[in-house]
C-alpha cells in the first residue's frame, strides 16, 4: 500500500504561498510562512505540515486504539483524540520534537487498568507513532463514564 499527497510552493520562504492537496480530493488548502510560524498573530492563511502530521497521528492512534479494544473483547462507543505537535528552534533550525496525544474514550465494560494498557499499546503500535519514533510521544488517556 502506498499513499501520497502533493504540495506546490511559489515564492520566497517568508513571502511565498503554497497549496497542499490530497489525491482523494477530500482536502486542498493553502499554506504559508504565517500559517506555519505565526499562529495567533492574526495572519493565519491556511494549514501547515505540522497540523497535517497532528491530524494523521490523532487519526491513526484512534484507529489503533479501537483495534486494541476490539481484539480484547470491548466495543468502544467513541474515541476522540487530539495530537499536539511541538516544534523547537535549535542551532540547526526548527525541528519537530514531540507529539502529545490526548484521548478520551467511552468503552462499556472495561476497567481503567485494561484501558490504559490498550491505550499504551496503541500509542506504540500505530504506524504513525512508529514513523514518528524519533520524537518524544506522550499520551494522556481518559476513560469516560
The whole-number pLDDT of residue 5 equals 93
Q: Report the C-alpha gap between 128 and 96 in whole angstroms.
A: 14
**What does CATH list as the number for 53-143?**
3.30.300.20
Q: pLDDT value at position 37?
A: 82
* pLDDT confidence of residue 13: 92
Phi, psi of 15 (to 5 degrees): -110, -10
What pLDDT was estimated at residue 34?
Answer: 86
Terminal-residue alpha carbon distance, the chain: 38
Domain assignments of the chain as residue spans, ordered by start: 1-47, 53-143
pTM, full prediction: 0.90
Radius of gyration from C-alpha coordinates of the chain: 18
Q: Which residues pair with 141 in a beta bridge?
A: 103
The pLDDT value recorded for residue 40 is 59
With H, G, I as helix, E, B as strand and everything else as coil, classify residue 104: strand
pLDDT at 91: 95
Residue ranges of the chain with per-residue pLDDT less than 70: 39-45
pLDDT for 35 equals 87
Residue 46 cell numbers, joined = 491556511
Give the pLDDT of residue 39.
66
Amino acid at each position: 500500500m502506498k499513499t501520497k499527497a502533493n504540495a506546490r510552493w511559489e515564492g520566497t520562504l517568508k513571502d511565498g504561498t503554497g497549496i497542499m492537496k490530497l489525491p482523494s480530493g477530500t482536502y486542498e488548502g493553502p499554506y504559508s510562512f504565517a500559517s506555519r510560524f505565526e499562529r495567533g498573530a492574526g495572519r493565519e492563511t491556511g494549514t501547515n505540515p505540522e497540523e497535517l502530521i497532528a491530524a494523521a497521528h490523532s487519526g491513526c492512534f484512534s484507529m489503533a486504539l479501537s483495534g486494541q479494544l476490539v481484539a480484547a473483547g470491548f466495543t468502544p462507543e467513541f474515541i476522540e483524540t487530539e495530537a499536539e505537535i511541538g516544534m523547537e528552534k535549535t542551532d540547526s533550525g526548527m525541528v519537530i520534537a514531540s507529539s502529545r496525544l490526548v484521548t478520551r474514550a467511552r468503552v462499556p465494560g472495561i476497567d481503567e487498568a485494561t484501558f490504559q494498557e490498550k491505550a499504551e499499546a496503541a500509542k506504540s503500535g500505530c504506524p504513525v507513532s512508529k514513523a514518528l519514533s524519533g520524537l518524544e510521544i506522550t499520551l494522556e488517556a481518559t476513560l469516560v463514564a
